Amino acid sequence: MSILNEIERDALTEIFNVGAGRAAQSLSEIVGDEVRLSVPSVEVLRSGAIDEQVLPRTRGRFATVSQNFDGPFDAEAVLLFTEDRALSIVRDMMGSQMSLDELAEFEREAMCELGNIILNACLSAMADMLEITLNSSLPQYLVSSPDDISARLASAQGDESYVLVLHIDLVIEKHQTDGHLIFLLSSSSLHALVEHVQRYLGKIGLG
Amino acid sequence: MASNDSGKTLLIVDDSKVSRMVIKANVLAVHPDWQVMEAGTGEEAIALVEQSVPDYCTMDINMPGMLGTDAAAQILQAHPSVRIAIFSANIQEAVQTRAQQLGALFVAKPVTEKSIGQALLHFRGPL
């Protein structure tokens, strides 16, 4: 059984694309160039199902930025890039004349800023379109191994938890990167989110 | 205005069914006599226009396949009389400029009654 029906998934994808558009606008002001950012797909999975299906198979580590938010539903949002991709994003954000040492110094700050921009743009689009208020905590940056991440997801809320997974395509200064934005939700928060999406669809005459 | 605005045809191009339905519902609420066609990609839109040229068109940008701005450019090149409103979540300056250069109106997503109102004003043209 699929957790979201086709029209609900479509509505959520549109909401996140509006968020991605706002984030791209902010990022383009930082890098002084056009930024392409899109969310081609949204899916909801049980948190146990995430590692094989979603995370790219890689021996390297992941750079993650996470933020908790609360409102009509609570979730932990995690923005996830492979570490080498994260570094190249930081280089594009900070300017390519920087040395690797200098870049490493700014990595945490730049990634937190990137995460803050993308997460808040998505949350604000969701809040505006669903007509709700969401509050978020400060972003936290963590470099983790794929195993750490799987363990973190598995332990998050037990088996009654879900993950909303967004694939992200990001192009800065002609460099293509892809990452994931993952929302960890309890079953009751997922139901509250779906209910708000249905209310939104009802309001626009599609409920 | 009602007299010369009646019986028009509108092509709605968007890969999101929700967006297409919102645009269609809002447009038909104001102009119940308009004929609406829908396409989910730029390629499909171009093929539809070849069969029957609409008066107006709303065009999304990020879709599978070609970009909506490229599809709009092709449509306008063959049929300069079509009035196009480009609806996009990508609100960057460069994108807005591209839409203007094409002679289309740029409208920021989300698709709402207000943004559809802007498109309808553009379709009607200078009074």
Domain ranges of chain A: 6-203
Interchain CB distance below 8 Å, B16 and A206 = no
* CA pseudo-torsion sign A117, B117, B23, B73: negative
Minimal Cα–Cα distance from A63 to chain B, Å?
A: 26
Element (H, E) at A106: helix A100-130
Interchain CB distance below 8 Å, A21 and B109 = yes
Q: What is the pTM of this model?
A: 0.84
- CB–CB of A107/A86 below 8 Å? yes
* CA pseudo-torsion sign A157, A159, A160, A162: positive
Q: Average model confidence (pLDDT) for chain B?
A: 93
Among residues A125, A166, A169, the alpha carbon closest in space to that of A35 is found at A169
The pLDDT score that the predictor gives to residue A52 is 58
The pLDDT score that the predictor gives to residue B120 is 96
**Topology of the domain comprising A6-203:** Chemotaxis protein chec (3.40.1550)
Number of domains in chain B: 1
Range of the domain at B90: 3-124
State the Cα–Cα distance between residues A197 and B70, nearest whole angstrom.
32
At A45-67, the pLDDT tens digits run 887 776 655 666 666 788 899 99
> Hey, is the C-beta of A25 within 8 angstroms of any chain B C-beta?
yes
Of the partner residues A7, A18, A37, the one whose CB lies closest to the CB of residue B109: A18
CB atoms within 10 A of CB B72: 26
Interchain CB distance below 8 Å, B90 and A24 = yes
- Amino acid sitting at position A207: G
Interchain CB distance below 8 Å, A21 and B89 = yes
Of the partner residues B17, B22, B92, the one whose CB lies closest to the CB of residue A24: B92
Give DSSP secondary structure letters for A189-206: HHHHHHHHHHHHHHHTT-
**ipTM of the assembly?**
0.80
The pLDDT score that the predictor gives to residue A207 is 67
Which residues 6+ apart lie within 8 Å of B18 measured at CB?
A7, A10, A11, A14, A201, A204, A206
Interchain CB distance below 8 Å, A10 and B17 = yes
- The enclosing domain of B16 has a CATH number of 3.40.50.2300
Mutate to test the interface with B, among A17, A130, A174 (most CBs of B within 10 A): A17
At A156-174, the pLDDT tens digits run 656 678 889 888 888 887 7
Show residues of chain B in contact with A201, CB under 8 Å: 18
Of the partner residues A10, A37, A38, the one whose CB lies closest to the CB of residue B18: A10
Interchain CB distance below 8 Å, B18 and A129 = no
pLDDT of residue A133 exceeding 60, the answer is: yes
Among residues A124, A11, A115, the alpha carbon closest in space to that of A65 is found at A115
Interchain CB distance below 8 Å, A28 and B93 = yes
Distances (CA, A) of B16 to A23, B1, B19, B41: 20, 31, 5, 10
Average the pLDDT over each of A33-42, A180-189, B61-70 and give the range with the smallest value: A33-42
Minimal Cα–Cα distance from A78 to chain B, Å?
A: 22
State the Cα–Cα distance between residues B4 and A131, nearest whole angstrom.
37
Interchain CB distance below 8 Å, A34 and B94 = yes
Minimal Cα–Cα distance from A43 to chain B, Å?
A: 15
Q: How many residues does chain B have?
A: 127
The mean pLDDT value for A68-73 works out to: 92
Which residues 6+ apart lie within 8 Å of B116 measured at CB?
B22, B23, B26, B27
> Hey, is the C-beta of B21 within 8 angstroms of any chain A C-beta?
yes
- Amino acid sitting at position A114: L
Which residues 6+ apart lie within 8 Å of A60 measured at CB?
A82, A83, A84
A179 or B52, greater pLDDT = B52
